[in-house]
Structures are given as structure tokens and as C-alpha cells.
Amino acid sequence: MVEAAPETEAHFKEYAIEEFLVRDEPYYRPIGDEIELFTAAYRQHIPVLLKGPTGCGKTRFVEFMAWQLGRPMATIKEKSGKEEELKEGEVRVPLVTIACHEDLTASDLVGRYLLDANGTRWIDGPMTRAVKNGAILYLDEVVEARKDTTVLIHPLTDHRRILPIEKTGSIVEADDRFLLCVSYNPGYQSALKDLKHSTRQRFISIEFYYPPADIETEIIQRESGCSKEHADALAKLGEKIRNLEEHGLQEGASTRLLIYAGRLMSEGITPRRAAQVAIVWTLTDDPELQRSIEEVSSSIFE
């Protein structure tokens, strides 16, 4: 669970999980008031639930928020003594991202005793570390997690803001900067995997959807570096494909896919081909659906 920084200096950079900081401003194009909402929630220690289909910018948003909140201009009550350790211009809100899956156990998150030559040793899990270091803890696709792990976050998400560690018999109090943020995709949530209400009602919810066509154009152009025309057409294609969501397509084309297509185009791949490999074939295996989407794409692209 170590994320490498985008710029590789020598070979690669390795961080301890709680030390990973978003250093450069990630590109995020706000659509509504989500930035204000998140900032307010952060200051008020209210956990945030991000809902939305895949590839619509949830993760990017959290990254952006980590960066934004970590900048000095954000007035956050600092824990004394921490400041000296920061290098010049360094940001102060680390981001700990955990992708949830159905085999994720509580000790995966909290920590466990390990055996070594001298006996046993306690190792903090990523959640514990995030809590201790005042990070934004981002649990991606939280519905995938086992029920017992979701219960873990309950004491963290109400007024207590504590993490009891059963094994060591201790309780960790969350750092002031700590915030829990979870995301899930209501689209392929089979009703069985719904969040329990006792969990759900500990968050404020920000709903994400694909951005409107003009903003999406802007995003595609900015992210992929393709021409305005192509970005425009891609956004239109995305919109049209999303119309098919109810008619056989599981999920519409994500902004991410549109950006991929745009990137291919900026590398000189012909638009129709780029759309085919990045969007059509990725979205579905159903030949009929593929053909239909391709017809839409061939109407839009010359």
C-alpha cells in the first residue's frame, strides 16, 4: 500500500503510508460547491461519503482536497511541535488511501502482532497510522469491505474520534487533522452490499456524476492535451453513450476513459480508432452494443 510519487528521481520513491503527501496541485475542476462542502466538513470533523460512478473524479477530488487543505493558507489547528519537522513548502495533510475488498479484515486496517525472533511485535495498520498522523483516510469502494471492518470506523466517525485497538488494549485518539472519507459506486452496488444505515448516517454525502458536457470538454482537453474539437466530440460521445446506461450498458463511459481516448488522439491515433480501443471495447463485450456505440462514434468523429 505504498504509492509512488509521479516524478521519479533516481529510481522510485518510497514513502511510509502516513507520510505520503500530495505535493503538486492535482488538477481538479469543481462542478458545484463540493470544495466548500468538503472544507467545511473537514473543519467540523464530519466524515464525508462520496458517491458516484467510476471514473468521475472521486479519487482526484480527495487528492485535491488533501493538497488544498494541507496548504498553509488553510487554517487548521496544528498540533504543537509538528511544524519543525516540515520542510519548506511541504504540505501537512497526508493522504492514506485504502482500496476495500471483501477479504479486508479488521487487523489489516488496525494492525497486528507479528512474530519475530524475539517474540512478538505490534505493527500499526494503515488506519491506525492515519489516525495517529492526522491524515485524510480514504476508503475506496467501502461497500466491498466486510461488515466487521465497517463497524471499526464507527467510534472514529462520531464525536469520540477514537480508534480502540482491542489487541493491544489501547485507544488511539485521532489527530485533529484526521478525516475519514469513504467512497462508493451506487451503480453496481447490488442491494445486498448496501451500507448499513448505522454506518451511512455518520457521513455527509456528496454526490458525483459525470460533469456536464462543457466542463467535461474542458477537463478532457486539460488532462489529455488533445484539441478542443476532439475534446468537444469526446464529451459529446460520452454523453451519448451514457444515454445507453439503461438500455443494456452496465455503466456509461467514464471521464477517465474519455481522457484516455483524448490522450491517444494527442499522440496521433485517429479519433475513431482511439474511441474504439479506449471506449467501445473497454465498455462492453457485447458485439451488438459495441457496434451501436461504434456507430455513434463514427457519426461524431469524421
Partner 1 sequence: MTSGPIPEIEAELAKLPPAVLEAYHEANDSVKESFGEEEIGLWAKEGLTIGTQTVRSWESAIEYYRVSPEVSKFLSFPSFMQWARCGTYLAQDSPTLAVSFFNSSVSIVPNLRPQYIPRWAGLGRSLYKGTWKSSTLAAKFFEVSPDLVRNLPFWDVEVFASLIEALSYKSYDVAGECLVLGRDVLPAMGREREPFLAMSRALIDTSWREVKTCLELVPRALQQVDEAQTGRFLKLGERLAKVGLRNTSKFLSDGTQALSKVPQGSQGYILDLCDALVVITPDAVPPFLKSLDDVLNRITVSQLDTWFQHGAHLLQENPESGIAFFKIESNTSESMLETLSSSLELDRVKSILRLYCRALAGTGLEIFDSQELVSRNIGWVDEGTASTDGTKIFLPPVVDHYTNKQDNFSWFKVVSTHQVAHLEFGSFEYEFEKPTSQFEDLRHEMEQKAIQRKEDQRALAKEDYDMAARLLTSGAEGDVEMTPMFDDPNDMGSMRTFTDIGRFLELFENSRLGFDIFAVLEDCRLDYRIKVEYPGIRAVSSRVQGETLANRPRIEDMPLQQGLVELLVHMSLDQFQDLPVAIEYKEAGEMLSSILHQLRTAEANVEDTAEATLRAYEIISRVPNEQEEDDQFEEQDLEEPGDFSEEDYQSLVDQLQAGMDASSDGGDGESYESPDPVDYRGDFKPEMVQLMTKLQADSGEQGEAQPMTQEMLEQLLQESPELEMDAEQGEVDSNMSMFAQNIMKEAGAPPPNSQPGEGYGPLLHDDDSGGELEAREPETYVYDEWDFRANDYKPRWCIVKEKLVEEGDATFYQESLKTYSALSNHIRRQFELIMPESMRKTYRLVDGEDIDLNAALEAWADLRMGVPPDEKIYWHRNRNRREVAVVFLLDMSASTAEAIDEGRQTVDDRDAPDDPVEYMVWLRRRREGLVRRNYKRIIDLEKEGTTLLINALESIGDTYGIYGFSGYGRENVEFYVIKDINEEFSDKVKRRIDKVTPLHATRMGAAIRHAITKLDNQDAKTKIMFLISDGRPQDRGYSREGVEKEYAVHDTHMALVEAKHKDIIPFCLTVDKAGHDYLKSMCGDMGYEVLADIWSLPERLPMLYRQLTAVR
Distance, in Å, from the CA atom of 122 to the CA atom of 115, rounded to the nearest integer, reads: 9
Chosen residue from 173, 250, 267, 277 binding partner 1 by CB under 8 A:
250
For position 117 contacting partner 1 by CB under 8 A, the verdict is no
> Rounded to whole angstroms, what are the CA distances from 131 to 15, 96, 179, 269?
17, 10, 8, 46
Q: Per DSSP, what are the bridge partners of residue 171?
A: 164
Query: Per-residue x/- mask for partner 1, residues 31 to 70, rule CB under 8 A?
Result: ----------------------------------------
CB of 16 to partner 1, least distance (A): 22
Chosen residue from 13, 29, 45, 112 binding partner 1 by CB under 8 A:
112
All cell numbers assigned to 281? 471495447
For position 197 contacting partner 1 by CB under 8 A, the verdict is no
The residue behind cell 507520510 is: 19
Residue among 223, 133, 145 nearest 176 (CA): 133
Which part of the chain contacts partner 1 (CB under 8 A), choosing from 17-25, 88-96, 130-138, 282-290?
Answer: 282-290
Distance, in Å, from the CA atom of 29 to the CA atom of 288, rounded to the nearest integer, reads: 35
For position 9 contacting partner 1 by CB under 8 A, the verdict is no
Residue among 301, 277, 271, 299 nearest 290 (CA): 277
CB of 241 to partner 1, least distance (A): 6
CB of 272 to partner 1, least distance (A): 8
For position 270 contacting partner 1 by CB under 8 A, the verdict is no
For position 205 contacting partner 1 by CB under 8 A, the verdict is no
Main-chain dihedrals φ then ψ at residue 294, nearest 5 degrees: -65, -35
Which part of the chain contacts partner 1 (CB under 8 A), choosing from 52-60, 78-86, 195-203, 283-291?
Answer: 283-291
Residues 212-241 that bind partner 1 (CB under 8 A): 233, 236, 239-241
For position 109 contacting partner 1 by CB under 8 A, the verdict is no
CA 280 centroid distance within chain: 24
Distance, in Å, from the CA atom of 148 to the CA atom of 146, rounded to the nearest integer, reads: 6
For position 297 contacting partner 1 by CB under 8 A, the verdict is yes
For position 248 contacting partner 1 by CB under 8 A, the verdict is yes
Is residue 129 within 8 Å of residue 17, measured between CB atoms?
yes
CB of 246 to partner 1, least distance (A): 7
The count of chain residues that interact with partner 1, using the rule CB under 8 A, is: 41
Cβ burial, residue 46 (10 Å; 0-12/13-18/19+): middle
CB of 131 to partner 1, least distance (A): 21
Is residue 283 within 8 Å of residue 54, measured between CB atoms?
no
CB-nearer residue toward partner 1: 83 or 246? 246
All cell numbers assigned to 79? 498540533
Return the exposure string of 6-27: e unless at least 16 CB atoms fall within 10 Å of the residue's CB, then b. Answer: eeeeeeeeeeebbebbbeeebe
Residues that bind partner 1 (CB under 8 A): 102-103, 105, 107, 112-115, 119-120, 167, 188, 190-192, 233, 236, 239-241, 243-244, 246-248, 250, 272, 286, 288-289, 291-293, 295-302
